[in-house]
Amino acid sequence: MTAIETQVQYSSYMMTTTEEYMNQEDSWDRDLLLDPAWEKQQRKTFTAWCNSHLRKAGTQIENIEEDFRNGLKLMLLLEVISGERLPKPDKGKMRFHKIANVNKALDFISSKGVKLVSIGAEEIVDGNVKMTLGMIWTIILRFAIQDISVEETSAKEGLLLWCQRKTAPYRNVNVQNFHISWKDGLALCALIHRHRPDLIDYSKLRKDDPVGNLNTAFEVAEKYLDIPKMLDADDIVNTPKPDEKAIMTYVSCFYHAFAGAEQAETAANRICKVLAVNQENEKLMEEYEKLASELLEWIRKTIPWLENRVAEQTMHSMQQKLEDFRDYRRVHKPPKVQEKCQLEINFNTLQTKLRLSNRPAFMPSEGKMVSDIANAWKGLEQVEKGYEEWLLTEIRRLERLDHLAEKFKQKSTLHESWTTGKEELLSQKDYESASLMEIRALMRKHEAFESDLAAHQDRVEQIAAIAQELNELDYYDAATINARCQGICDQWDNLGTLTQKRRESLERVEKLWETIDQLYLEFAKRAAPFNNWMDGAMEDLQDMFIVHSIEEIQSLITAHDQFKATIPEADKERMAIMGIHNEILKIAQTYGIKVVGENPYTVLSPQDISNKWEAVKQLVPMRDQMLQEEVARQQSNERLRRQFGAQANIIGPWIQTKMEEISHVSIDIAGSLEEQMSNLKTYEQNIINYKSNIDTLEGDHQLSQESLIFDNKHTNYTMEHVRVGWEQLLTTIARTINEVENQILTRDAKGISQEQLNEFRASFNHFDRVKRLVEPFLTRTPPATSPTPFPKIHETLKYLTHRTMSDVMDGFAAVI
């Protein structure tokens, strides 16, 4: 390896080129040259490493920067690690002597292909720690690390790869570098355990105890491997990134410690290997003979089994044969294939080993050559292939048969399930008691069944075809298949016959029901208006009537007679309607149809028509009787009217006449007051005697009231008029008599003469006539907006009209 390549391996501290080294030198100046923790670790490690070699010369160093200043121990160190003699050192103690010795050491290092940059003898002599450590690191790289080679990698990379290979099987160990990968101590313990498992129980180590792990490795390495303790566990654990150079220096000691042991082990293994090869060759020869004999015997026994071509009758038996063949392929043959392959491999391997060992080739026994075994195996595979093809063909045949049989059973089961109850359904005569709508529904249902039946025709044909194919393939249970197929075909033919018969029956009944339906419709069309006519007739016949005259009742009788004249024609219509119903019954009876339910077009039944017709016929005489009774009643009322009218027409004028006569008597001045009184008494007696006529008229009026007679065309007088007139008559006669009596008393009391009295009476009569003229005017209430134009005259006339003859006589007497 060249000097440049060597320097590449430790470029993190001492760079390979002058420029890199100077750049690092500048960084040392900026960063105070070296991290104190790293400096401490390097001091300790490099010191221990130097002492591990100096002790071979019976010396050691205590302070690395002081003990190398004179150059003597430095030259001694180089002689020990290189095995070469250096120039004789200067014995003086002067500075230049020291510089000369150090230069001799540095020249020797340079002669080994190491290019030292910025490291001069003066710095070493002056005790420059950084330069001294850099120089020692350069020596370590050249003489301890540079010559390490692992799988085409060397120096640092080779050492790292060696560590990775050795520690790969260990848990919690992952060596990726020479700093933090070693902090927990497990990597160092793994290196020791890999080469000396008797020194460390790796299973008891814990990753969370790095100090303990490191101290264990340091102690075991120092005690059993002659590797001095170059590191401090606390320094490594407490440093975020341990110094790489210190770790590499320490780990390289392990590489050199174990490398010699491995070389000795390799030599011993070579000797053992030669002996093992010879023994193995003998063993392979014996195994070949044994395996060849067993394999040929197995082939000899297997071929007759594979040549057996006796077919089984059932799929189960053939499947068992197939399963046996699969077991042969899966269980029995693979080991034999492996044996055959292993036999060939062993034979080839044996021949190769013998050839490499310069020994004669192996010759098996007769008939056991590899070619003999290959020929026997080829014959086995040919028979096996034929047996497999036969098995597959036979299984496919039986599988086809089983498939067809299963398919036949499935389709037959479906068909039989579908046909269950169909014959009973087709044999029903439910249409005999169904209505037209139900018949049509049954017809549609039957058409749907026919479509379903036609759709199932393919299934029946498939069943027959499958049965035929099973017979052609000589199915073992063909008799059962044939019997079932024949039953299905016979049932299918019967279903077709029943389907046709039911269609014919449904069509026949449908036509009959269409005729009945037309009759139902005709019945409904004629029964509805006829029923309405009967309802109207019953309503008219039961209608309550109120009449007040012979003419009104006679009008009702005339209308009733006209109604009776329409009854024969109505009876003909009724007979026609009932004839329609009878025609329906006749059709139903003739063709055996059960007519159930009501007419779909009407709620009227023939019985309803008959009942109403009977009711109408019963109401007609009842109506006749009612009308005749009303005629008699009206005739009686007419007699009462005539009787009342005759009497009222007599009494009413009589009362008027008497009223006028009394009025004339009261104003007559021809006679004396006594004569007037006498005449008035006579009138009063006559009026009293006439009271019986009023009572008779009251009796006739009472009869009229009881007969509900409220009008009378034979008179203008009502009983109320008569009563009022009669009461006025009695009041008038009584007042007139009282007036005359008062006049007599006034005359006698005032001493009025007859002449004066006549004058008073004449004046009174005059005002009495005025009273009769103005009394209507005075009794009329004038509107509030039309005041009386002559209030004083009005008051005077009002006053006069309320005065009697006696009042006038009193007034005149007072004047006189």
CB 659 within 8 A of CB 735: no
| Mean pLDDT for the chain overall | 81
For residue 517, name the pLDDT band (cuts at 50, 70, 90): confident
Q: Which is more confidently placed, 32 or 613?
A: 613
Between the CA of residue 616 and those of 264, 526, 609, 613, what are the distances in Å? 147, 18, 10, 5
Rounded Cα gap, residues 251 and 177, in angstroms: 12
**Tokens found for residue 321:** 């044969």
Distance of CA 116 to the CA centre of its chain: 85
CB 726 within 8 A of CB 694: yes
For residue 542, name the pLDDT band (cuts at 50, 70, 90): confident
- Look at 17-21, 363-367, 496-500, 608-612 and tell me which has the smallest mean pLDDT: 17-21
pLDDT exceeds 50 at position 8:
no
**Tokens found for residue 244:** 């790489």
Residues of the chain with pLDDT > 70, as a percent, come to 85
**Helix axes 478-541 and 457-472, enclosed angle (nearest 10):** 170
Rounded Cα gap, residues 505 and 659, in angstroms: 104
pLDDT exceeds 90 at position 275:
no
Residue range 109-118, pLDDT digits in tens: 888 888 877 7
Rounded Cα gap, residues 426 and 445, in angstroms: 11
**Tokens found for residue 682:** 């006579």
| Residues sharing a CB contact under 8 Å with residue 98, sequence separation 6 or more, in sequence order | 69, 70, 71, 121, 125
Between the CA of residue 58 and those of 221, 617, 720, what are the distances in Å? 21, 165, 181
Residue range 624-668, pLDDT digits in tens: 888 888 888 888 888 888 888 888 899 989 989 988 888 887 666
Task: Please report where in the chains the tokens 């004839």 appear, as a residue.
Answer: 579
The partner residues of 153 in beta bridges, in order of sequence, read 150
Rounded Cα gap, residues 14 and 131, in angstroms: 10
Query: What pLDDT shows up at residue 429?
Result: 83
> CB 202: neighbour CB atoms within 10 A?
17
pLDDT exceeds 90 at position 216:
yes
Mean pLDDT computed over 274-287: 76
pLDDT exceeds 80 at position 9:
no
Mean pLDDT computed over 385-391: 83
Mean pLDDT computed over 8-25: 32
Widest distance between CA atoms in the chain: 221
DSSP structure string for 535-588: HHHHHHHT------SHHHHHHHHHHHHHHHHHHHHHHHHHHHHHHHHHHHHHHH
Element (H, E) at 149: strand 149-150
If you count them, how many residues does the chain have? 816
pLDDT exceeds 80 at position 311:
no
Query: 783: which DSSP letter?
Result: P
Residue range 455-478, pLDDT digits in tens: 888 889 889 999 998 888 878 888
Residues 521, 541, 536: CA angle, nearest 5 degrees? 30
Q: Which is more confidently placed, 249 or 153?
A: 249
Phi, psi torsion values for 208, nearest 5 degrees: -85, 10
CB 302 within 8 A of CB 361: no
Query: What pLDDT shows up at residue 762?
Result: 67
**Tokens found for residue 139:** 């020596």
pLDDT exceeds 80 at position 497:
yes
pLDDT exceeds 50 at position 3:
no
- Residue 412 corresponds to which amino acid? S
Q: Per-residue b/e over 90-103, b at no fewer than 16 CB within 10 Å?
A: beeeeeebbbbbbb
Task: Please report where in the chains the tokens 């005075």 appear, as a residue.
Answer: 778
pLDDT exceeds 80 at position 265:
no
Rounded Cα gap, residues 513 and 502, in angstroms: 16
pLDDT exceeds 70 at position 15:
no
Mean pLDDT computed over 324-343: 84
- Look at 187-196, 270-279, 316-325, 796-805 and tell me which has the smallest mean pLDDT: 796-805
SS3 230: coil
Mean pLDDT computed over 665-673: 70
Task: Please report where in the chains the tokens 């780990």 appear, as a residue.
Answer: 251
CB 234 within 8 A of CB 29: no
Task: Please report where in the chains the tokens 């269950």 appear, as a residue.
Answer: 420
Between β-strands 149-150 and 153-154, what pairing exists: parallel, antiparallel or unpaired?
Answer: antiparallel
Query: What pLDDT shows up at residue 271?
Result: 66
Residue range 719-739, pLDDT digits in tens: 888 889 999 989 998 998 898
Query: What pLDDT shows up at residue 769?
Result: 53
Which of 764, 747, 750, 749 is CA-nearest to residue 672?
747
